[in-house]
Amino acid sequence: MTSTVGPDVTLTHRGESATLRGTGYVLVRWQIVTAEPGGSLTMPTWTGLEGRLFHAASGGGRRMDDVKPGGAGETWMESPGIGTTVLPEGAQQMWQSEFFWLDGAVTLHQNETGEDYNVFVQPTDHASILRDLHTAPDPATGIVRYGLVRDTGDNRTPVPQYLTRGRPADPATVPQRSRVG
């Protein structure tokens, strides 16, 4: 797996993107910047797909709406007195780590407006994903649940919610319910 910006990709500002090429697993790790005022989150999008891209698993030990350990009830998406991150209606709740399978090429875009977030992308492998998904919950470290396998082993495995084979002028306009043939 290669990318246009090197093996480890950090997308922290609106307009940043990286094109991924190859065959294998990709880890996309989320960071919601809760030190900033909360607001609506504009989801990252995948454009220009050549080949196949599947959402294989979700992990990292927590969904981003899970309660932080020792955090007075706030989740990973909020801070007291500052605000809460709001996902677009119907958007799938993201986990700390999302795993994808790519066979081809695709560009991932950081589209933040309102809520500040970062995504970190790197190649990974099947064994690393399995270790992540099977890590036992340990609330002291923030790991509160086992991961979720999304790969059905056939063509019913989901694609990312915001994916297109097209290359729109504004990547933030990719529709939420993608249909990729």
pLDDT digits (tens, 9 = 90+) for 8-56: 999 999 999 999 999 999 999 999 887 777 788 899 999 999 999 999 9
Q: Looking at the predicted structure, is the pLDDT value of residue 77 above 90?
A: no
Mean pLDDT, range 77-102, rounded to an integer: 88
Average pLDDT over residues 84-96: 90
Q: Tell me the DSSP string of 103-167.
A: EEEEEEE---SBS-EEEEEEEE-HHHHHHHHTPPPBGGGTB-S--EE---SSTTSPPPSSB-SS-
Place of tokens 């992990």: 59
Lowest mean pLDDT among 10-24, 65-79, 86-100: 65-79
Is the CA virtual torsion 126, 128, 129, 135 positive or negative? positive
